[in-house]
Amino acid sequence: MNKKLQAVNLISDIGVESQELETATLRKSRIVSRFLSPALKFWLKSQLEQVEELKVQITGGDRQIITGKIPQAYVAAAQIIFRGLHLTEVELSANEIMINIGQIIKGKPLKILKPFPIFGNLKLLQSDFNASLQSPLLAQAIIEFLVPLLPPDFLEDIKQPINLYDQVAEISQGQLNFFVNMLSKFDEKISLTIHSNFKLGSSCELLLENLDLQISQQPTYNFSNQIKIDLGSDVELQELTLDSGQFICRGCLIVKP
């Protein structure tokens, strides 16, 4: 009887210890779930110059999150500024995100440990696109795009390094119109006007068709009126729409640590 009683007590003790361990684990998991969303919000805000209406939602089991794996995350934001680029509305979702959960628990910043695909919808109003044209990042990209199109004798007369002035874009149905000034070596403004149909060439290529480039006080010259822009293998676009005064894009991007 004593042996049976000891065995019962032992089993009871094990059951209590198991329950206490499970309760402690759940308690810890709830804490992780409670501060993981704020940690992700803080990390996102640290990457941005401005953001409004930021919403973050993390879903998944506690055990997965404790191992550093976020099964699914959803982010929605409006009026974002990232490296000088103004984005009107953004919706992003991602699966299987590996993070440094152990360090987060100790109060360290969130870090991404492995590359993962992020799926998103982007809306850009014409006013925000024009604000983005003032960013050094986009301005440099435009210069690198324009230089191969411009005649060599014209480039010789342009003040170096090339800078853009008074750049303005107009977005219409399937078309992008761009107006910009450059300075000559004599500090005179030279106007450039570009009209082009704008659409997807493939999932990782933008296609400019019926491209028309006009330079003030310059004779017309021949160049390819169809240009492809390679976005790289980390990009996969499903939709690109230019409507009256707005730009809409839907696709996938590989995020790397």
Q: Is the pLDDT of residue 12 over 50?
A: no
pLDDT confidence of residue 185: 93
pLDDT confidence of residue 35: 67
Q: How confident is the model at residue 241 (pLDDT cuts 50, 70, 90)?
A: very high
pLDDT confidence of residue 76: 96
**Which whole number is the average pLDDT over 129-145?**
94
Q: Do residues 71 and 54 make contact, with C-beta atoms less than 8 angstroms apart?
A: no
Whole-number percent of the chain with pLDDT over 70: 83
Strand order from edge to edge, sheet including 246-255: 50-59, 69-82, 85-98, 116-125, 246-255, 235-243
pLDDT confidence of residue 39: 82
Q: What is the mean pLDDT of the chain?
A: 84
pLDDT confidence of residue 31: 44
Burial level of 12, CB count in 10 A (0-12/13-18/19+)? exposed
pLDDT confidence of residue 103: 87
pLDDT confidence of residue 110: 82
**Which whole number is the average pLDDT over 116-126?**
96
Q: Do residues 247 and 129 make contact, with C-beta atoms less than 8 angstroms apart?
A: yes
Q: Is the pLDDT of residue 239 over 90?
A: yes
How many Å apart are CA 147 and CA 58, to the nearest integer?
A: 45
Q: 44: which residues sit within 8 A by CB, 6+ positions away?
A: 51, 54, 56, 75, 77
Q: Is the pLDDT of residue 234 over 80?
A: yes
pLDDT confidence of residue 240: 95
Q: Is the pLDDT of residue 105 over 80?
A: no
Q: Is the pLDDT of residue 168 over 50?
A: yes
**Which whole number is the average pLDDT over 100-123?**
89
Give me the residue label for tokens 């450039």: 192
Q: Is the pLDDT of residue 256 over 80?
A: yes
pTM over 0.85, yes/no: no
Token digits of residue 251: 């696709």
46-86 residue pLDDT tens:
989 999 889 988 887 777 777 888 888 999 999 999 999 99
Strand order from edge to edge, sheet including 175-183: 165-172, 175-183, 189-202, 205-215, 227-230
**Which whole number is the average pLDDT over 190-216?**
91
Q: How confident is the model at residue 186 (pLDDT cuts 50, 70, 90)?
A: very high
